[in-house]
């Protein structure tokens, strides 16, 4: 029994111990569970935070992508998988439409090769990104030119997973620069060209080439015939160089180009089949652009281009053509005025040659006449002398007197002939300009000419040294001084020679106290063969006309002051540096 | 001493005048007459004159043309040539002096003056050693023989 009791007791103790253990374990469990819960809660909240953060970032990125002015596209193995709004706008497709397309579908076939080459290098890993200028096909069938930047997005193995491309539409800039380039090249090509034909061809060729036109034709207006004529046609119409096959002429006011001339306004025709003004040249073409070339508010020509397709020409093309027309107008204007100038010059030259010829003829005439007149005069004079000699004492006084008178008339005639010769410069000297010391020249003259004892000649001031022609200066001074001596009737004759210096000229004066000249003769005395007194054998009336001619020859002036009975002063102005006015010689 | 004078002149009165002037001066020089340059050249070839009076304006061959040919001839270029003309043309004077002349005299209007001029010229050549010794003739002949 005791044994049993003790066993029970033992068992009871063990139970107590076990209970205690369980209690302890539950407590630990309880604690652990709590801890776990807390951690879980923490984890959850962290997770939520992370999720929120991720959402935020991707939407921000989206905002950037969607609002970018540049087209952005993400591609995977050539397929478009993400296209931003800007690119949709550039290409004219919706997001859905684009998702079914590949890069190849929207590339210009001519640009594909270059871009595929670069993509290949990107995939090989030799480059990470590249830049290309290429054309993309729009939904409406036209192309846009884009600056494109392509970057690779690689996976952990370095393989290209995606490609990101950034596109900038530069179509407008390209067109403008193309237009500018075309205009620039055109202006260079017509620079210095003065022939209407040359200029027209350059314009037609350059316009067609640089603007990629099917043709370009230049018409000019023929005002007399009231028509337009093709002067240059580049494109299909011309096959062999600068020559037009079957030149078309259009009456002004008819056809599209004729209308442009009449109104002075450009015409842009989108469908010529709907325009009954259209005149067929070598072929029917559906679009036409015609712009007037206007010089001084007058249409002088038309630049015209046709295209086989409808709606080919745009407002920009019209602007370009207008610019070209302005350029052409300026050059045509130059050419026209140059042509006119040349024409005038040619006429002038013709006239000059004619003048020179008649001048030569006149000189020859004077020479021939002088010889032909002088010779018989000498014969007459000799014959008269011989008759006198052979009949010495055989004639009465009256006959002898008549013979003397006859001889004097012959003398007078000889004087006249010599005078004409001098005046007409048949005895022309070398018209060289050199330093002429007038002081010495006048003193030499005074040595040579006969000065009666009652006359004194006074040099009031030192005469200058002139750049002039010595012979002409001598003729000038000698004639005036001789006149002053010849027409002096005073017991004490005085002649004063004086000079005053001005900026670029000298004013000479030769003053006498001779018989004087009535004012009414002031002009007349400078005319050839005019003498004021009863003609004698010595005065031919040529001296002062020679003086006048010389002064005029040197662009100078001559005039006089005089009082009958008291004397005369001749004034003449000469430039310090003289040039011979050859037209008067 | 007697000179052989060649007068190259186409005007008959002028020829008469020259002869008459010499007669008046009582000169007995030989006068050869040519109506133009061509005739003068033929005369010079056959009968070399000691002195030439040359008019400028003549038909066929004028005075300056004759003078140019004369001065290119080794034999004849020594003959003194005096131009006797009505041409007061500056260019004629320059051309004549360039080719080579012994003088340029304008025909005066008055006969008395003419006689005086002719006298002066002939008298000058009469006292001239060159003519007196027939220098140009012998020299010229030598040159001609040597050719």
Same structural domain, A528 and A561: yes
Distance (Å, whole) CA A438 – CA A468: 10
**For chain A, how many structural domains are there in total?**
4
Same structural domain, A219 and A96: no
Asked whether the beta carbons of A75 and A98 are under 8 A apart, the reply is no
Q: What is the mean pLDDT of residues B35-55?
A: 91
Mark which of A334, A362, A383 sits at the end of a domain.
A334
Q: What is the pLDDT of residues B64-78, one digit of tens each?
A: 999 999 999 888 888
Let me know if residue A366 belongs to a domain: no
Same structural domain, A467 and A564: yes
How confident is residue B140, by pLDDT bands cut at 50, 70 and 90?
Answer: very low
Mark which of A34, A49, A66 sits at the end of a domain.
A66
Contact A379 B114 (CB under 8 A): no
Which one-letter DSSP state was computed for residue A428? P
Same structural domain, A200 and A321: yes
B13 close contact with A: CB closer than 8 A:
yes
Instruction: Give how far Cα A429 sits from Cα of A281, A307, A449, Å.
Output: 69, 74, 21
Contact B86 A428 (CB under 8 A): no
Beta strand A287-295 pairing with A143-154: unpaired
Same structural domain, A19 and A32: yes
Which one-letter DSSP state was computed for residue A429? P
CATH number of the CATH domain containing A571? 3.30.565.10
Let me know if residue A141 belongs to a domain: yes
A172, A314, A138, A293: which is closest to A221 by C-alpha? A293
Number of cross-chain residue pairs from A and B with Cβ atoms under 8 Å apart: 51
CB count in 10 Å sphere of residue A249: 11
- Its pTM stands at 0.45
- The radius of gyration computed from the CA coordinates of chain A, to the nearest angstrom, equals 56
Which one-letter DSSP state was computed for residue B107? P
Distance (Å, whole) CA B86 – CA A382: 14
Same structural domain, A72 and A62: no
pLDDT for the residue numbered A209: 81
CATH number of the CATH domain containing A134? 3.30.450.20
Instruction: Provide the sign of the torsion angle of the four alpha carbons A294, A297, A300, A304, taken in this order.
Output: positive
pLDDT for the residue numbered A434: 82
Give A71's strand partners: A167
Which residues on chain B are in Cβ contact (under 8 Å) with A374? 86, 107
Asked whether the beta carbons of A494 and A513 are under 8 A apart, the reply is yes
Let me know if residue A310 belongs to a domain: yes
pLDDT for the residue numbered A499: 93
Q: What is the mean pLDDT of residues B14-23?
A: 94
CB count in 10 Å sphere of residue A234: 25
Full domain range(s) for residue A52: 1-66
Q: Looking at chain A from residue 401 to 430, which residues have their Cβ under 8 Å from any Cβ of chain B?
A: 407, 410-411, 414, 418, 421, 426-430
B87 close contact with A: CB closer than 8 A:
yes
How confident is residue B147, by pLDDT bands cut at 50, 70 and 90?
Answer: very low
Asked whether the beta carbons of A217 and A203 are under 8 A apart, the reply is no
pLDDT for the residue numbered A79: 84
Same structural domain, A61 and A89: no
Same structural domain, A495 and A473: yes
Which residues on chain B are in Cβ contact (under 8 Å) with A429? 90
Same structural domain, A185 and A321: yes
Let me know if residue A224 belongs to a domain: yes
Asked whether the beta carbons of A419 and A544 are under 8 A apart, the reply is no
CA distance A376 to chain B (A): 9
Let me know if residue A249 belongs to a domain: yes
Let me know if residue A339 belongs to a domain: no
Q: Is the pLDDT of residue B15 over 90?
A: yes
Which residue of A381, A421, A429 is in closest CB contact with B109?
A381
Same structural domain, A187 and A318: yes
CA distance B99 to chain A (A): 18
- Ranges of beta strands (E only) in A236-320 are 249-251, 267-269, 287-295, 298-307
Instruction: Provide the sign of the torsion angle of the four alpha carbons A96, A99, A102, A107, taken in this order.
Output: positive
Let me know if residue A560 belongs to a domain: yes
Instruction: Give how far Cα A568 sits from Cα of A513, A552, A565, Å.
Output: 7, 21, 9
Let me know if residue A415 belongs to a domain: no
Structure tokens at B15: 């020829």
A245 phi, psi to nearest 5 deg: -80, 130
Q: What percent of chain B has pLDDT over 90?
A: 56
Same structural domain, A457 and A545: yes
**Terminal-residue alpha carbon distance, chain A:** 182
pLDDT for the residue numbered A508: 94
Mark which of A147, A169, A191 sits at the end of a domain.
A169
pLDDT along chain A (585 residues), means of 10: 81 90 90 90 88 82 84 86 88 87 85 86 87 88 88 84 88 81 80 80 83 86 86 70 73 88 90 84 85 88 89 84 86 81 89 83 72 84 90 88 89 82 61 84 88 90 87 88 89 92 90 89 76 55 81 88 91 80 51
CA distance A360 to chain B (A): 15
Distance (Å, whole) CA A214 – CA A284: 13
ipTM: 0.78
Same structural domain, A54 and A79: no
């Amino acid at each position: 029994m005791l044994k049993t009791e003790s066993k029970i007791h033992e068992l009871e103790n063990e139970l107590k111990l076990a209970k205690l253990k369980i209690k302890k374990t539950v407590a630990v469990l309880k604690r652990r569970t709590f801890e776990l819960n807390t951690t879980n809660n923490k984890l959850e909240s962290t997770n939520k935070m992370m999720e929120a953060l991720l959402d935020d970032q991707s939407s921000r990125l989206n905002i950037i992508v969607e609002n970018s002015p540049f087209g952005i596209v993400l591609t995977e193995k050539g397929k478009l998988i993400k296209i931003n709004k800007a690119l949709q706008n550039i290409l004219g497709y919706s997001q859905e439409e684009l998702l079914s397309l590949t890069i190849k579908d929207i590339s210009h076939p001519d640009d594909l090769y270059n871009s595929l080459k670069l993509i290949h290098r990107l995939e090989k890993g030799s480059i990470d990104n590249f830049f290309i200028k290429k054309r993309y096909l729009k939904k409406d069938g036209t192309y846009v030119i884009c600056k494109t930047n392509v970057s690779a997005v690689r996976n952990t193995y370095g393989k290209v997973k995606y490609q990101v491309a950034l596109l900038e539409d530069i179509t407008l800039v390209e067109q403008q620069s193309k237009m500018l380039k075309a205009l620039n090249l055109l202006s260079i090509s017509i620079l210095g060209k003065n022939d209407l034909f040359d200029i027209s061809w350059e314009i037609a060729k350059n316009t067609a080439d640089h603007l990629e036109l099917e043709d370009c034709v230049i018409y000019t207006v023929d005002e007399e015939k009231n028509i337009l004529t093709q002067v240059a046609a580049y494109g299909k119409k011309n096959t062999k160089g600068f020559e037009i096959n079957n030149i078309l002429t259009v009456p002004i006011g008819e056809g599209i180009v004729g209308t442009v001339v009449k109104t002075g306004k450009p015409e842009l025709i989108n469908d010529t089949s709907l325009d009954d003004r259209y005149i067929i040249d070598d072929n029917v073409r559906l679009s036409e652009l015609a712009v007037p070339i206007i010089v001084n508010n007058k249409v002088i020509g038309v630049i015209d281009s046709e295209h086989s397709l409808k709606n080919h020409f745009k407002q920009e093309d019209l602007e370009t053509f207008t610019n070209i027309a302005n350029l052409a107008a300026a050059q045509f204007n130059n050419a026209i005025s140059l042509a006119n100038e040349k024409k005038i010059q040619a006429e002038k030259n013709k006239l000059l040659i004619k003048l020179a010829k008649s001048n030569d003829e006149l000189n020859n005439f004077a020479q021939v006449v002088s010889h032909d007149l002088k010779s018989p005069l000498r014969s007459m004079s000799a014959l008269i002398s011989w008759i006198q000699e052979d009949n010495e004492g055989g004639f009465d006084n009256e006959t002898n007197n008549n013979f003397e008178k006859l001889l004097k008339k012959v003398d007078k005639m000889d004087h006249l002939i010599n005078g004409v010769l001098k005046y007409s410069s048949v005895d022309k000297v070398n018209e060289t300009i050199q330093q002429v010391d007038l002081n010495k020249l006048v003193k030499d003259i005074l040595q040579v000419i006969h000065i009666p004892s009652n006359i004194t000649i006074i040099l009031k001031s030192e005469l200058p040294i002139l750049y002039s022609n010595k012979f002409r200066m001598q003729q000038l001074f000698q004639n005036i001084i001789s006149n002053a001596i010849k027409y002096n009737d005073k017991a004490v004759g005085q002649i004063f020679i004086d000079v005053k210096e001005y900026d670029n000229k000298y004013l000479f004066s030769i003053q006498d106290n001779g018989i004087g000249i009535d004012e009414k003769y002031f002009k007349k005395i400078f005319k050839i063969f005019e003498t004021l007194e009863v003609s004698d054998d010595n005065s031919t009336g040529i001296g002062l006309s020679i003086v006048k001619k010389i002064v005029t020859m040197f662009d100078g002036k001559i005039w006089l002051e005089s009082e009958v009975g008291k004397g005369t002063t001749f004034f003449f102005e000469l430039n310090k540096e003289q040039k011979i006015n050859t037209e008067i010689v | 001493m007697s000179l052989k004078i060649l007068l190259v002149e186409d005007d008959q009165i002028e020829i008469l005048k020259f002869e008459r002037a010499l007669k008046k001066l009582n000169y007995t020089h030989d006068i050869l007459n040519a109506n133009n340059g061509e005739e003068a050249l033929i005369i010079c070839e056959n009968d070399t004159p000691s002195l030439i009076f040359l008019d400028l304006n003549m038909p066929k061959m004028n005075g300056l043309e004759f003078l140019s040919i004369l001065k290119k001839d080794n034999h004849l270029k020594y003959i003194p040539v005096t131009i006797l003309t009505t041409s007061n043309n500056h260019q004629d004077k320059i051309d004549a002096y360039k080719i080579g002349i012994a003088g340029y005299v304008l025909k005066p209007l008055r006969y008395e003056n003419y006689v005086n001029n002719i006298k002066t010229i002939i008298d000058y050549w009469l006292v001239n050693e060159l003519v007196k010794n027939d220098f140009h003739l012998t020299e010229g002949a030598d040159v001609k023989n040597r050719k």
